[in-house]
Amino acid sequence: MIQAIGLGLVVFVGAAAQRITGLGFSLVTSPYLVLLLGPFDGVLVVNACAVLTAFVVLTQVWRDVDPRRAALLIGPALPAVAAGAWMARTLPAPPLAVVVGVLILCALVAVVASERARVLRGTPGAVAAGIGSGFLNATVGAGGPAVALYAVSSGWAQHRFAATAQLVFGVLGVASLAAKGGRPSMAAAEWATVAAGLTVGVLAGNRLAGRFSPARGRAAVIALAMAGAALTVVKGVAAL
């Protein structure tokens, strides 16, 4: 029961962050779900919930989606999803947990530095961002930082980025689930709390989206994700 409540709380915070900032669900939830469920099952749950969150948010912001940029990101991302899924299936749990934590920390550093690291521009930048997002989505369930880095580098308007990102994350989440196969071994009560956390988180995010400072929300997302990623690395190293 304690684990079920923990799962629900983590998903609630992630879903609210996604609605407020346009990304954040995977960054917040991935390290904590890996700690609770293990690296493979944890990322599977992240992928499944990220798909639902992205498509729910997309129903509210679809008018701002940029189809051309979405295609530029999704096209090169799909082969990278397959490569990431192979790694996720192949590595044993402790080293995979270390890889998950380290990759999330690297992704977070990219987000923090994104205003100064304007390196992904034009079509080549979109292709590189798509590849990075696809690989990270399949391995650690956190494909957002690569897309965010491209958005900042190219001067993509926030409302267009936030809407288009939902389509990209939804498609990549479906691809990651299909590439890895299987399903997480969770009890019915755990699935129920995850579903409740997802629903209430999106509703809470709807109410807070116009009141919560994007800068403060982004800082909170990064702080939570860094703490969780560091814990994941420590747990993985201890189990080696």
pLDDT in tens, 88-146: 788 776 777 677 677 767 766 766 665 555 556 778 888 888 998 888 888 877 777 77
- Separation CA 39–CA 17 (nearest Å): 22
The model's confidence at residue 5, banded by pLDDT at 50, 70 and 90, is: confident
CA Rg value for the chain: 16
Q: Residue 133: which of 27, 233, 212 has the closest Cα?
A: 27
Cβ–Cβ under 8 Å, residues 125 and 119: yes
pLDDT reading at 203 higher than 80: yes
Percentage of residues of the chain with pLDDT beyond 90? 10
The model's confidence at residue 78, banded by pLDDT at 50, 70 and 90, is: very high
122-140 vs 25-37: helix crossing angle, rounded to 10: 20
For the four alpha carbons of 201, 23, 47 and 68, in that order, the dihedral sign comes to positive
